[in-house]
Amino acid sequence: MTARLSEALRRLADDVPPARVPDGLFDAARARHRRRRAAVAGALAVLVLLLGTGYALHPVTLPPPAGPRQDGPGLPTRLVEPPLRTASVRDSAPGAAAMLFGGPAVRTDWFETRMGVVAADGDRYRVLDGGHVVAGFEASLSPDGRYVWAGSALLDLRTGRFTPDRPGGYPLAFAPNGKRLVYADDETTFTPPNTYSTPYVGVYDRERGADVLRVRVGTAWIPPGRTAALSPDGGDLALQVRDEVWLTRVADAGADRVGEPYRKLPLAGGRLAGAGSWLPDGRSVAVLDRSTCTDCPVPDYRRTWTLALRSTVDGGTLAGAAFPPVPSRSYVQLLGWRSADEAVALVGVPGPAAVDQPEDHDVSWGPYHEPGTEAVELVVLRRGAPAPEVLFRTPQGITELSVAADLAIDGAVRESGRPDYGPLPFWALAVGFVLAVLVALPVVSLLRRWRGRWLYRRPRDG
């Protein structure tokens, strides 16, 4: 009975027509899965890229800081180091700046020449490539904070672009009104065994677009930093040449713009005090006398600076109460005067590794940034005061500083808020795109394995 039933069922099965599978069914299914997989991977990549771009381009709103705050621009109460993702000045101009700064905290192994900029009217931080120049020496802010003069380039911080009207040399000083710039010709001549000579020092007028004075300095080398100063009206130049200060009238320059000094003030181991050396009356300049102290705050750094005033009429020292000494400091850069009795200056604070150079080091080599400097202080020097008043000190790792002199002289200070580092730079967007691709690859691999398991189980489930 069983055998006959099996034979009957077999005959019925043979009579059933075979099932027909449409041509290209499996190819179509495979193509459909490929499209779905590519769509998912593409959507993930686009989502990550859009999120990164949106974060880069969204406007940053700074919350109002707690505590009192001055309306308008001012020096920040706090300075922070810009992180790696900080936008550059060229990509996102910060506007007029309060400070230009540098140091180990600002530079990295990939960005070895980086400097930081913080805006005057808000905590907008930007970075720029300084090209191995030191803020406060080879790179300076204009008194109003609008321009950065680094090397032979003049950068407008309101536009993020270099200006065509700039002198052809390295910076020495801005005029107090910012319209004239003192520079040194960078075609230096090497004099064996280890000295250099500068052909000339020029005064460039930005409104005229030309030099209005050139002073030949012979075989001396004029280093950047604090070796030149223009009077408040821009009509007189004070220039340190070795151990003398040469005073030259810009109006005395002839058709060839070459001027001769009308007076030379001996320094006896001291220095011109910096770009703000001229007093507001225009008839006297400040110099720094150097001495050695026995009870310095830094025992191994005994250099002490004392501010003195010299008359441009007869070269004599002006009488009056003494300014406080500045002990154990590597340099002093005078920014300007609040009155005839109050001067504002930047001073370098030496660290444990600083080496106090002999006096002839300052005269022959110039006031370069000392390698052992660990901080910079903004101070006020008042006649009759026992010590300088410290207004600001850079945090650890920021050892180079230039400030907008107008803000420092006016005492304009604003409370710091949350830093704004600007939109992501192009390289950061590129890194984000690469990361999006790297994230998408494992997702694609996971979808491929899931598809393989699904195709393997599908016939068995049917």
What is residue 126's predicted lDDT score, i.e. its pLDDT?
Answer: 95
Domain ranges across the chain = 81-166+413-450, 180-203+215-387
Task: Report the predicted TM-score, pTM, of the whole model to 2 decimal places.
Answer: 0.77
What is residue 303's predicted lDDT score, i.e. its pLDDT?
Answer: 82
In three-state form (DSSP H/G/I as H, E/B as E, the rest C), the secondary structure along the chain is CHHHHHHHHHHHHHHCCCCCCCCCHHHHHHHHHHHHHHHHHHHHHHHHHHHHHHHHHCCCCCCCCCCCCCCCCCEECCCCCCCCCCCECCCCCCCCEEEEEECCCCCCCCCCCEEEEEECCCCEEEEEECCCCCECCCEEECCCCCEEEECCEEEECCCCEECCCCCCEEEEEECCCCCEEEEEECCCEEECCCEEECCEEEEEECCCCEEEEEEECCCCCCCCCCCEEECCCCCEEEEEECCEEEEEEHHHCCCCCECCCCEEEECCCCEECCCCCECCCCCEEEEEEEEECCCCCCCCCCEEEEEEEEECCCCCECCCCCCCCEECCCCEEEEEEEECCEEEEEEEEECCCCCCCCHHHHHHCCCCCCCCEEEEEEEEEECCCCCCEEEEECCCCCCEEEECHHHHHHCCEECCCCCECCCCCHHHHHHHHHHHHHHHHHHHHHHHHHHHHHHHHHHHHC
pLDDT along the chain (462 residues), means of 10: 67 62 58 60 52 43 37 88 90 94 86 90 91 87 95 90 86 94 86 76 91 89 88 94 92 67 89 94 92 78 89 87 90 94 94 71 50 89 95 93 96 91 69 65 67 56 45
What is residue 112's predicted lDDT score, i.e. its pLDDT?
Answer: 79
Question: What are the pLDDT digits (tens) for 17-36?
Answer: 665 655 555 566 566 656 66
What is residue 224's predicted lDDT score, i.e. its pLDDT?
Answer: 83
What is residue 187's predicted lDDT score, i.e. its pLDDT?
Answer: 83
Question: What are the pLDDT digits (tens) for 269-311?
Answer: 788 999 999 999 999 999 999 888 877 777 777 788 999 999 9
